[in-house]
Amino acid sequence: MKIIELDGHSLTCAQVIEICRGAEITLSPEAEKAVTRAARVVSKKVADGEVVYGVTTGFGNNADKLLPDPEKARMLQRNLLITHAVGVGKPLDETIVRALMAIRINTLIQGHSGIRLTTVRKLAQMLNAGVLPWIPEKGSVGASGDLAPLSHMAMVLIGGGQAYYKGKLIPGAQAMKAAGIEPVNLAHKEGLALNNGTALMLAYGVLTLHHMGNMVKLADIAAAMTMEGLAGRADALRAEIHELRHHPGQMATAENLRRLVKGSDLVDIPYEEIPKSLGGWTWNREMDRIEGGKAFKPQDSYCVRCVPQVHGAVKDTLQHVQQVMTREMNAVTDNPIVLPRGDEGEGDVISAGNFHGMPLALALSFLKTAIPTLASISERRANKLVDPATSDGLPPFLVRNDDNTDSGFMIVQYTSASLVNDLASRAMPASVYSIPTSANQEDHVSMGATEGRHVYAMLDDLRRVLALEIYTAGQAIDIRTKTLDGTFWGHDDWLNDVPETDRKRLKTHADEVRARAHKSSPAVAAVMAALRENVDYMDTDREMAPDITAVLELSKGSKLVEIAEQVIGPLALASPLGAD
């Protein structure tokens, strides 16, 4: 079992993902000293009878209420948790809970929270033992941090609430006993230290980044397949074009596409070699040239030509969001914040606003608009493949349709359009809708947890859109190669519609085209092989639901990305994402 040492200052997105997958944590000696130093400051303030928000006073709008004695102050911390653990909705999945706990521990050990070392160690024990609190997904407004979710986490620490242990949901006290962990009797400020912070919205952000790092690569693969299916042009991918604009994601995407289509006989194929799938070639007397299915124009549609600019912008968005997330997971997000001076309990306890989730909320809002953008351009590429007016010679809806009764891939595009609309309708930022809380004491909040929940939930539909494009592009590639080698027709009846004076010339041209190789690039061929292992080429209409199920399963995780990368090496992002 891998063990990751937390020091409060160097946690990465990649390490959080490892913890989500089961890695255990340990606390650095320096961090443990910092925790003890801050706890002494709180103890001294209480002993000296000083007025400290949330320690010797009430919370929120009750901040002007002084507590009569130290025991009342200790009870306040427990009451804080039991009255704030009021979330609703489905429980968070295990990976989110593990990320949330690790992130909160990393904040607490920086030595500005005033929590005791024994309490932090118990929380780490819970994580390592797999005592995972039951935390409802809804209830946080993102300031003062993720109060309700983190209170549910802390309830198990004090022997309350519910927790998952060895796959079962049981009372928190029972889970702690089974794991051999004694519940905590809270000291001064410890309730506040446990539930004041941005751990939930940050957990959502880190896990979304991890999955998006794979999906932008999958999107590049889908685009490369569509380029082949459309017999697209590669000039727009030239490195010097993208270097003129300087955006890292754009340059990375163009490089990915160049590598993905390298060696393809379909990309940049001469115009006159591409027949109409249902009509072969014609002789254009006026232009004195043979014409087929590909229009004689030097540029492709935006959804193909501008893939580097669009996919690249999404990659740059991921890079920005990762920078925000990495800063936050190594930040102090408490209130009040303890500022020790030395090791003897001297220092200040300052009430400020580091719990406010707006830095994360706005970053997540940015990501929230990037997801439907990536889905939208994918759907447009898939639509171009099924539309005979735009597919450069492919048959309507990608089937032979000899008797005009086949629908082919028509409704696959409908499904994709539905998913894109759903994603777009969810892209409105939650961060712009603050609703005051705590009797207007907390009168501007971030809604960052809502934003995080939204983007995390949107990932599945994005993956589905990309999978449907791959499914559609795979059919188009097969038709394109079958058309070029003549097997799509099976005969040359199309020549009957050609003037007799042109017939011999066009028949000779057809024979010459068929004699040449028309294969996919090595990378696309590898992905196509995986696709065809799961889904057969569709000659005529058949039940497509099993195909869709198989393609969606194939698109999960990083299977297809790994297949392509085994051929051409790692696909590039704007710069390496720690979560990837």
Catalytic residues: 53
Cα separation values, 336 from 355, 402, 520, Å: 9, 74, 61
- The rounded distance, in Å, linking the Cα atoms of 408 and 541 is 6
Contact 231, 480 (CB under 8 A): yes
Alpha helices in 132-230 (DSSP H): 147-157, 172-178, 190-195, 199-229
Q: What is the largest CA-CA distance in the chain?
A: 107
β-strand pairing of 24-27 with 3-6: parallel
- The rounded distance, in Å, linking the Cα atoms of 510 and 274 is 10
- The rounded distance, in Å, linking the Cα atoms of 172 and 157 is 8
SS3 at position 93: coil
Q: What is the chain's length?
A: 580
- The rounded distance, in Å, linking the Cα atoms of 69 and 82 is 21
- The rounded distance, in Å, linking the Cα atoms of 429 and 170 is 36
SS3 at position 282: strand
Q: Which residue has the tokens 């795979």?
A: 474
Q: Is 255 exposed, middle or buried (0-12, 13-18, 19+ CB in 10 A)?
A: middle
Cα dihedral sign for 449, 452, 456, 461?
positive
Within 13 Å and on the Cβ side, how many CA atoms surround 47? 8
Contact 111, 31 (CB under 8 A): yes
